[in-house]
Structure 1
Amino acid sequence: MKVRKRPWRSGLLAAAVGGMLLGTLVAGPAQAEDGQQAVGLKLTALSVESSTVDASSGDGTVTIDWTVQDGDTAATDVLGSLTVQQVGTDGRLVGAPQALTFSFQPEWPYQANPVDGTMASAHYSYAFPVPQYAAQPSAQWAVVKAAARDDQGGTLAVGRQGLARYGAAFTATHLVDSTGPAYDQLGQVLDQPEYLYNADASVTARYRLNITDDQSGFFRGRLVLAGPQGATASGTFRLVPNTDGSLQCGDYPGYDSHDVWCTVDVTIPAGAPAGSWSISRLSLTDASGTVSVSRRLSQDPVHVTQNGTVRASDFAISPGQYNNWNGVARLAVTMKPSGFRDGIASVTVLLDGCGGSITENPEIAADGSISVAGTAPPVYTRKCAVTGIGITDGAGDTAAYGTDFHGPPLDLVATQIPDTAAPVVNSASLDVTSVPASTLRRNAVLTLDVTSFVGVNRFSLTVYDANGESVGGMSGGVSSVPDGSLKLLVPLYEGLRPGVYTVGFTLTDAGDLHSQYGYPSGLGLPVPGGPLHITVTDD
């Protein structure tokens, strides 16, 4: 049997880690009465070798045998999975599904490969590890689903009804998992908006939490938010294995179902009652089906609004052009609220690329406006756009504007004052103009008096001989100098021959404008006070 890797593998079937279900293959063509595809792949045998097993020690296994036929003679590989799950006394499935994955061509992370046969009819066998814990000391287990796909597009999908005739079931003795999962650090994700505008579309509140379960491990959960007028909204989440063997719960990866981080999204419908929505209930289910429920939590609220009571208008940001070339620029975002009761309790302003702020109990000016401060960080912040404004009045009513809060758009943008003037050198001098050759290597000091609107922050200088050939130089950055003295080192290397040398230099400001002075052949501007010459003399 020759193993060949196929590029279509990764998208067809997820692997299994710790016995948990990783993925489901989707059936394609019409199925026969037994739930299988009428032509192509077909499950022809399925059995378990033991009807009972003691799994309480943690190493109990049940050997499962099955046979898959493929009528497509062009097929060279098949990938599939069997799903094994607890079946309650009422016939309902209990706890987490456990996946047993297989492939005709051996490849990690597929668990089972043929023990004999060919693609036309391959027999598989696998010692399925039975979970140690269950909600009861004795539990019924069964193979409840079979799915597969070959490399020619043939598919197989058989559900419980189609598998019932095989009687692939067993009874296991377990340790009792009597407690559901525990949690801590439940709260909003860091970028969760405080305000959500839901007049026209649903909005999403996102939370995160850490979950531990020392026995059977975490499986899934449900988070419920409670809003005004008895309204609720909920979001579900679960631990799912990835194709690389890791686990995933929402945005968080992990490798251990006994200690995981999860994110959960809760969708609040469009037009749902305005007001404070907070976490009210959390239910967590472990792999054995044991549930823990926490109620009346009342924490981490978000403010949902349709701007129906409190509103605002006359939005503005000033100055429209700010100067942050040599430090932080201060901004003010103003607006006029209306419809509020008991004053304005707080205003939140979010700025893209800049620092927003929250102002508690802002002063209402004589013209009815309020102001919130913002900041533009130095030099490199070219634009500040207001992306969210949230207002809460003294009665708890709210209003929200801007994309960050999913509210009505805002057209509030301030920009950096452009840099239009390159640095100017007012005077230039060297601390030495004549040096003996025997004193080299050494540096001369070039002192410049500069004027720059945005500040000089880089330089380059070159030493030239009488023929205009470079014999050394230096470049680098300096602390920003908008006005005043700038001192630069001029390297004079060992081995310079006696003669007259000229220094040319370039100054660049924070806006990338530059000025050149004193270069040979008249390049750039002349140095104020005349060329910069250094004479190297004989000893």
Structure 2
Amino acid sequence: MLGAVPVGPAQAAGDEGGLELSALSFSPLAVDATAGDATATLSWTVKDGNASAVTVSGDVYVRQISAAGSTVGPAFDISYSLQPNGSAMTSSVSGNAQSSTYSYDFNVPQYAAQDSADWAVVRVTGSDDQGNTLTVGKDRLSEFASIVTAKESVDSTGPGYEDVSLPPDAPRYLYNAAKAVTVAYYIDVTDPESGVYKGVVTVAGPGGQTASGKLKVLTAGDGNTSCGPGTGGWGSNEIICSVSVTIPAGAAAGRWAVSRIRLTDNAGNTSVHRSLNLAPVQITQNATLRADDFAITPTTVNNWSASQKLSITMKPSGVRQGLTSATVWTGTGCGGSVTQAPATSADGTITLNATMFQTYSKQCTITGIALEDGAGDVAAYGSYFGGPDLNLVVTQIPDTTPPVATSASLSFTTIAASALPRNVVLTADVTSFAGVNRFSVTVYDSAGRPVSGGYGGLSAVTAGTLQIGVDLPQGLTPGVYTVGFELTDEGGLYAQYGYANVGSPAPGGPLQVTVTDS
């Protein structure tokens, strides 16, 4: 353990006229953390010799120090600010920019590699709004009561792992002939005592070639933890880490898998898990099994009213023991397929399938094609696998023709005022390139004032009869009422019928209902 620490007055000054750390201390200087609920209050004061300064903020870093004086585990970052700013862990308890005091209750970790551990302030930083900065290192910090000594529960074992996997949408084949490729892994790591700190993941390929990537658990000011992009949790006793491993350009083709995981916990214990064979990917330069003459048909489709099938053709070569599978990956708006043992035509080509989904898919891009043969050789093409674009694109035929109503009628044309409210049914025969999927109706009185209306959605109709309910409300006075309607298709084009000043007349004449007084 470290020797005695002076507790009398001391200073760590910045530039003259700028920031300085004038006081810092833990209280108490010794705690019992074996039950996991020990707290030591850290207080510090920052002075600013610049009279114009208004704001001060910075960070205090606390870390475990070994008996040999080296750091153990991660640093705890305590952010501070003179004024509450929503992100700092603590704000000033007194003073102004020229002299501000802060306090933070540091939760001393329960576990260490031995039954006693020192937790020390190892660095203090600060800055003000006048451009002055402060950095205080461990040598100057030793002049303060900057260390709390804790009785600890002993953690003597390193971390473990529960699972290693590739993300669900990650490619299982990668093309690395011209440039390096990166493989992303998810690893569920565990350490029930002090928690996981960091690690190294090694991936092995043919001929003893290896590549590796690092993981590190980070703790935010609010206590949330993360371990690589897209991860998050609370605490580090069990957390899923994302790890990226870069396999160099031209590295050996074949099967690469996670072979070794080295993990270190927050107490400094390390465990090494060897001879693994997990989450494999296939690396290829398309040197043995190959394909060319890629084509797709059709290149334009009318998918407004129904999904459309696409055919992708290519000519494989270098096939050994027959093709076992062929897989098509696509961008958004369409879907690929997996074909087991694809048939080869007389001219040496194979045909694979994709689907461009109905209505809202404007474009379908084939992003990847992978072939595998009976000898285990792989060929991978397209950006999905890290290779050049295939330039296989299908586009939607644009919707340029609004819907058309060829006839329209009402279920009745006369009704007594005493029979209201009542729905009259508007029946219309329509044709539409993209399919009618919405409608609106308006009922006008003889002066052209709207008295009722409505709108709604429909299952898309390209040709057929629509029936739309039109509300005739209670209280209509006797007279003639006219119904106008609008049809809108899947592409947003519309046609209006029976309105006074816009659109077309209703086919077959005005749609009118006479309300009588009897």
**For the superposition of Structure 1 and Structure 2, which TM-score range results when normalised by the shorter chain?**
0.7 to 0.9
1:333 correspondence with 2:323: no
SS of structure 1 residue aligned to 2:207: helix
Q: Indicate how the Cα distance of structure 1 residues 45 and 319 shifts in structure 2: closer, same or farther if over 3 A, else same.
A: same
Q: TM-score, normalised by structure 2?
A: 0.85
Q: Give the Cα–Cα distance (whole angstroms) in 2 for the partners of residues 505 and 218 of structure 1.
A: 66
Post-superposition offset of 1:283: 2.5
1:269 is matched with 248
2:4 is matched with none
Q: Provide the aligned length of Structure 1 versus Structure 2.
A: 505
Q: Indicate how the Cα distance of structure 1 residues 490 and 96 shifts in structure 2: closer, same or farther if over 3 A, else same.
A: closer
1:149 correspondence with 2:132: no
Post-superposition offset of 1:415: 1.3
Q: Indicate how the Cα distance of structure 1 residues 434 and 397 shifts in structure 2: closer, same or farther if over 3 A, else same.
A: same
Q: Give the Cα–Cα distance (whole angstroms) in 1 for the partners of residues 246 and 221 of structure 2.
A: 28
Moved more, 450-459 or 36-45: 36-45
1:428 correspondence with 2:415: no
The structure 2 residue matched to 1:296, chosen from 275, 278, 282, is 275
CA shift digits 1:236-257 (9 cap, x unpaired) = 1222123454322222232323
SS of structure 2 residue aligned to 1:192: coil
1:306 is matched with 285
CA shift digits 1:223-271 (9 cap, x unpaired) = 2222222122222122212345432222223232333332222222233
Q: Give the Cα–Cα distance (whole angstroms) in 2 for the partners of residues 440 and 324 of structure 1.
A: 44
1:348 correspondence with 2:347: no
CA contact (8 A) 2:434 2:490 kept: yes
Structural mapping, 1:358-369, within 5 Å: 358-369=338-349
1:17 is matched with none
RMSD (CA atoms): 3.3
The structure 2 residue matched to 1:235, chosen from 213, 217, 234, is 213
Post-superposition offset of 1:117: 8.6
Structure 2 regions of 5+ residues with no counterpart? 1-10
Structure 1 regions of 5+ residues with no counterpart? 1-33
Post-superposition offset of 1:38: 5.5
1:278 correspondence with 2:260: no
CA shift digits 1:83-141 (9 cap, x unpaired) = 34334455432223334555556777756778899866777776654322111223455
CA contact (8 A) 2:408 2:506 kept: no
Q: Give the Cα–Cα distance (whole angstroms) in 2 for the partners of residues 133 and 318 of structure 1.
A: 64
Structural mapping, 1:185-224, within 5 Å: 185-224=163-202
SS of structure 2 residue aligned to 1:289: coil
Q: Give the Cα–Cα distance (whole angstroms) in 1 for the partners of residues 321 and 379 of structure 2.
A: 15
SS of structure 1 residue aligned to 2:347: coil
Post-superposition offset of 1:359: 1.9
CA contact (8 A) 2:495 2:503 kept: no
Post-superposition offset of 1:319: 1.4
Structural mapping, 1:34-113, within 5 Å: 39=16, 40-43=18-21, 54-60=32-38, 70-103=48-81
Q: TM-score, normalised by structure 1?
A: 0.82
Letter in 1 for 2:315: K
Moved more, 299-308 or 76-85: 76-85
1:406 is matched with 386
Percent identity reads 50
Q: Give the Cα–Cα distance (whole angstroms) in 2 for the partners of residues 62 and 215 of structure 1.
A: 21
CA contact (8 A) 1:344 1:391 kept: yes
CA contact (8 A) 1:78 1:151 kept: yes
1:490 is matched with 470
Moved more, 364-373 or 45-54: 45-54
CA contact (8 A) 1:387 1:403 kept: yes
1:29 is matched with none
Q: Indicate how the Cα distance of structure 1 residues 514 and 178 shifts in structure 2: closer, same or farther if over 3 A, else same.
A: same
CA contact (8 A) 1:322 1:415 kept: yes
SS of structure 2 residue aligned to 1:296: coil
Q: Give the Cα–Cα distance (whole angstroms) in 1 for the partners of residues 419 and 86 of structure 2.
A: 71
